[in-house]
C-alpha cells in the first residue's frame, strides 16, 4: 500500500471510519485503493453500490445490459422515476458520482458471457454477484474460481434471501496475500459445491412472476457490501463456508455450513471445468454431453 495521503475533505468524509481502531486512516486508504465489480444494477446491486460508494471503495465497476423500468423502482433504489428508459449502468453511475466524488465508477453496458468475462473481472479485487439469473451466477462462479477472484454472492426470492462469500483461495494461490480474513482455513467451497448444476429452465419462477418484497434486496445487498468491505480491509470473519439464509417474514437468520466438495466439477480434486468456454451457460449450466 502506498503512503497515506488522505486529504482534509476525506478525513472529514470518512471520519467515522478513521476513528475506528479496526479501520483507521490506513484501512480507509486501503478501501480507496480497492476495487469491486458489481454485476447487476437491480435490487441487490442498488444497495451494494450505494454502500460501497459511501464507504469509499475507490473503483466500482457496474455491469448491466438492462434499462430502468418503472416496476423496478419499488426496490432498485439507485434509480428514480426520471431514469425510466435509461440504461441502468448510467443511472447507477450518476448516483455514485453525486454521492461520492472520490469514486472512479466504470460502466459496462453489456451482458456477461464467456467471451467477455475475463475482460470484465480481471483487474478488480473482488466481485459482487448481484445478478438475477442462473447463467450469470454459474459463469461468475466458474471464472472467479479459475482466476482465484473473491466473490460475494447474493440471491433473493419473494420473502427470502441467501448470502455467502467465496474467497477462492486454494492451491497456494496469491488471493490471500492482501488479506488475513479467514486465514489458515481449508479450501473455500464454491457455488457449484452446493449446486453442481442449475435447475431446469422454467422450474424456478422469477420475481416478475411471483413478486418480491421491496425491502428484501436491501437487506441482502447490504450484507454483500459488508462482506466486500471486510474482504478489502482484511478484517473480521467472512461468510466463507457459511450460507446465511434470511427469512423476512420470520425475521430470522440461519447460517448453513458449507464445505468444499471434492467432486465439484470446477474446484474439486479432478475438475472437469478448466475454462468457462467449455461450459454451456444456457439450460443447466453444465458441461455439454460428449
Q: Which domains does the chain have, with CATH numbers?
A: 17-278 (3.40.50.720)
Of 4 and 34, more confident: 34
The residue with cell 431514469 is: 83
Q: What is the CA radius of gyration of the chain?
A: 18
- Residues 39 and 136: their CA atoms lie apart, in Å, by 9
Average pLDDT of the chain is 92
Of 184 and 284, more confident: 284
The pLDDT confidence band at residue 99, using thresholds 50, 70 and 90, is very high
Say if residue 240's pLDDT is above 50: yes
The pLDDT confidence band at residue 1, using thresholds 50, 70 and 90, is very low
**What are 125-154's pLDDT values in tens digits?**
999 999 999 999 999 999 999 999 999 999
pTM over 0.85: yes
Q: What percent of the chain has pLDDT over 70?
A: 92
- Residues 63 and 107: their CA atoms lie apart, in Å, by 6
* Residue 215 grid coordinates: 425491502
Written in H, E and C, the secondary structure of 211-237 is CECCCHHHHHHHHHHHHHHHHHHCCCC
**What are 49-84's pLDDT values in tens digits?**
999 999 999 999 999 999 999 999 999 999 999 999
Say if residue 203's pLDDT is above 90: no
Cα separation values, 248 from 51, 161, 172, Å: 21, 8, 39
Q: What is the pLDDT of residue 158?
A: 96
The pLDDT confidence band at residue 181, using thresholds 50, 70 and 90, is low
Bridge partners (DSSP) listed for residue 152: 128, 165
Say if residue 2's pLDDT is above 70: no
Clarify whether 207 is annotated catalytic: yes
Q: How many residues can be counted in the chain? A: 290
Contact 146, 279 (CB under 8 A): no
Spot the catalytic one: 190, 193, 207, 285.
207
Amino acid at each position: 500500500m502506498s503512503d497515506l495521503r488522505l486529504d482534509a475533505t476525506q478525513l472529514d468524509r470518512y471520519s467515522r471510519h478513521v476513528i475506528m481502531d479496526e479501520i483507521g486512516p490506513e484501512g480507509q486508504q486501503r478501501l480507496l485503493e480497492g476495487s469491486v465489480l458489481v454485476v447487476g444494477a437491480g435490487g441487490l446491486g442498488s444497495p451494494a453500490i450505494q454502500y460501497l460508494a459511501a464507504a469509499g471503495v475507490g473503483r466500482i465497476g457496474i455491469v448491466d445490459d438492462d434499462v430502468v423500468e418503472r416496476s423496478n423502482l419499488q426496490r432498485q433504489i439507485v434509480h428514480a422515476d426520471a431514469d425510466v428508459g435509461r440504461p441502468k449502468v448510467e443511472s447507477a453511475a450518476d448516483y455514485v458520482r453525486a454521492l461520492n466524488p472520490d469514486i472512479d465508477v466504470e460502466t459496462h453496458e453489456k451482458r456477461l458471457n464467456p467471451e467477455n468475462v475475463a475482460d470484465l473481472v480481471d483487474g478488480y479485487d473482488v466481485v459482487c454477484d448481484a445478478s438475477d439469473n442462473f447463467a450469470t451466477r454459474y459463469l461468475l462462479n466458474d471464472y472467479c474460481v479459475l482466476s482465484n477472484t473473491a466473490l460475494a454472492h447474493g440471491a433473493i426470492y419473494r420473502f427470502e434471501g441467501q448470502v455467502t462469500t467465496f474467497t477462492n483461495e486454494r492451491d497456494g494461490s496469491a488471493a490471500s496475500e492482501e488479506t488475513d480474513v479467514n486465514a489458515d482455513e481449508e479450501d473455500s467451497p464454491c457455488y457449484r459445491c452446493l449446486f453442481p448444476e442449475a435447475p431446469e429452465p422454467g422450474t424456478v419462477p422469477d420475481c416478475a412472476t411471483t413478486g418480491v418484497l421491496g425491502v428484501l434486496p436491501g437487506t441482502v445487498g447490504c450484507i454483500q457490501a459488508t462482506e466486500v468491505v471486510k474482504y478489502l480491509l482484511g478484517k473480521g470473519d467472512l461468510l466463507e463456508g457459511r450460507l446465511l439464509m434470511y427469512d423476512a417474514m420470520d425475521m430470522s437468520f440461519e447460517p448453513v455450513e458449507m464445505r468444499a466438495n471434492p467432486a465439484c466439477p470446477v474446484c474439486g480434486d479432478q475438475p472437469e471445468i478448466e475454462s468457462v468456454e467449455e461450459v454451456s451457460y444456457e439450460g443447466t449450466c453444465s458441461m455439454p454431453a460428449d
